[in-house]
Amino acid sequence: MDLALLGFLMVATFMTLIMTKRMTPLVALIVVPTAFALIAGFASGLGDMMIDGIKNLAPTGVMLLFAILFFSIMTDTGLFDPLVNRLLRVVHGDPMAILIGTVVLCAIVSLDGDGSTTYIITIAALLPLYKRYDMNRLYLCCLLMSTSGIMNLTPWGGPTARAASALKLDPATLFLPLIPGMIAGLAFLIGLAIWFGRKERRRIGHVKSNEPTAFTGMAVSQFPEARRPHLRWFNGALTLTLIAGLVSGILPLSVLMMLAFAIAMIVNYPQVAEQKERIAAHAGNVLSVVSLIFAAGIFTGILSGTGMVEAMSKEVVGFIPPVLGPYMAPISAMLSLPFTFFISNDAFYFGMLPILAEAGAHYGVSPMAIARASLMGQPVHLLSPLVPSTYLLVSLAGIDLADHQRFTLVPAAMVCVVMTLVGMAVLAFPLVG
């Protein structure tokens, strides 16, 4: 059977199973690609493909493991309590102010270029507010993920770096014309936050909160014995140092997270029994996220190892009729939505983007225009079950992945459309080559 057809069927089967909740993402990520690889006749090399995929995602899995432990421990110590209390005073019980603040805070924190770090920091600050006022956490995840998708286009972010590397372009030159579209996307999200806020005002109204000290953060109610208020300045300095290290890239992310976690444990909980207790308290959350990361490695390993990704890419480009050739830039933008959702960024930018750029060159469309257009689908890409940080977000927020995907898909796609239209208007990538 044709590899491209098998690839499309595999992705469709996988998405159907998890969206209808007939199979958990963990099981589907393992069973579905294995079954299709056997159907395609790759039984002999199946093990090597799986191991290769797991190896590629291993550093991400390690980073997320220790990131969850570190920031969970910081929450236990009460580090974020003053921030939460200050936010409570600022929002005055208004859900709309919280939702707008969600977009603004995420945009600022996302400047580090790492989605996992962004989600951990913003969830730690915002989730207690959403819980305190009984707000819909699907709004939280929708706004955080869409904002992160926009800010992920910075030159030090993964997608832009991949697109520049694949086509041998300068990242700064590639990025600068995208700024108006990013601003428009953020403005759209603030408008969306206002709309969500009006719905929440009708549902729960303004919450009376004249005593901001009545709520002192998530850590107090969960693990009061783990609070370390006398170490708050040290923990704050350690967290800022970690974030600075993440931004500067002085060490690999996984190594930085491991070191920060070890230091935090030694200083805050010097007794071995206390350390074991804190790790056990968050073991369930860690296991649920990290297990999905390694399962996703099996999916991506088989998708790449069997050659399905390459076959799918060539098949899609082959469907584009010559009359549409001059419109390759907006076509690339449209294709980036489904393809960065169904396959990894690496597969899309290193596998499919060069093919799109070569096709566009025949019609006078520059590789720079194709590269910029290919970045427009990132807000939708982050919804993909192949993105490790997605599992971190829904796990920390306590919502179901399928519910999040169904709720956020349309708003994320609308953000992509807004950025695409502005990108064409400012000639970051013109409509016609």
pLDDT digits (tens, 9 = 90+) for 273-285: 999 998 988 887 7
pLDDT digits (tens, 9 = 90+) for 318-375: 777 888 888 889 999 999 998 888 877 877 887 788 788 878 888 888 999 999 999 9
pTM above 0.85, yes or no: no
Lowest mean pLDDT among 47-51, 127-131, 406-410: 127-131
Tell me the average pLDDT across 199-209: 76
Contact 127, 218 (CB under 8 A): yes
The pLDDT assigned to 109 comes to 77
> d(Cα 331, Cα 316) in Å, to the nearest integer?
11
Which position has the higher pLDDT, 216 or 403? 403
The pLDDT confidence band at residue 220, using thresholds 50, 70 and 90, is: very low
The pLDDT assigned to 289 comes to 73
Does the pLDDT of residue 405 top 80, yes or no? yes
By three-state DSSP, how is residue 1 classified?
Answer: coil
Does the pLDDT of residue 232 top 80, yes or no? yes
The pLDDT assigned to 77 comes to 87
Does the pLDDT of residue 214 top 70, yes or no? no
Which position has the higher pLDDT, 21 or 372? 372
Q: Which two tokens stand for residue 247?
A: 């931004």
Contact 91, 101 (CB under 8 A): yes
The pLDDT assigned to 112 comes to 60
The pLDDT confidence band at residue 184, using thresholds 50, 70 and 90, is: very high
The pLDDT assigned to 35 comes to 93
The pLDDT confidence band at residue 217, using thresholds 50, 70 and 90, is: very low
What are the φ/ψ torsions at residue 152 (nearest 5 degrees)?
-70, -5
Tell me the average pLDDT across 32-57: 89
Identify the DSSP state of 71.
H
pLDDT digits (tens, 9 = 90+) for 240-263: 898 788 767 788 878 888 999 999
The pLDDT assigned to 213 comes to 36
The pLDDT assigned to 304 comes to 81
The pLDDT assigned to 37 comes to 92
The pLDDT assigned to 113 comes to 64
> d(Cα 65, Cα 69) in Å, to the nearest integer?
6
> d(Cα 52, Cα 54) in Å, to the nearest integer?
5
63: nearest Cα among 372, 329, 314, 392: 392
The pLDDT assigned to 102 comes to 92
By three-state DSSP, how is residue 183 classified?
Answer: helix
pLDDT digits (tens, 9 = 90+) for 70-98: 877 887 888 877 766 776 677 777 889 99
> d(Cα 219, Cα 78) in Å, to the nearest integer?
6
The pLDDT assigned to 125 comes to 79
The pLDDT confidence band at residue 145, using thresholds 50, 70 and 90, is: very high
The pLDDT assigned to 221 comes to 43
Q: Residue type for 45, please?
A: G
The pLDDT assigned to 197 comes to 93
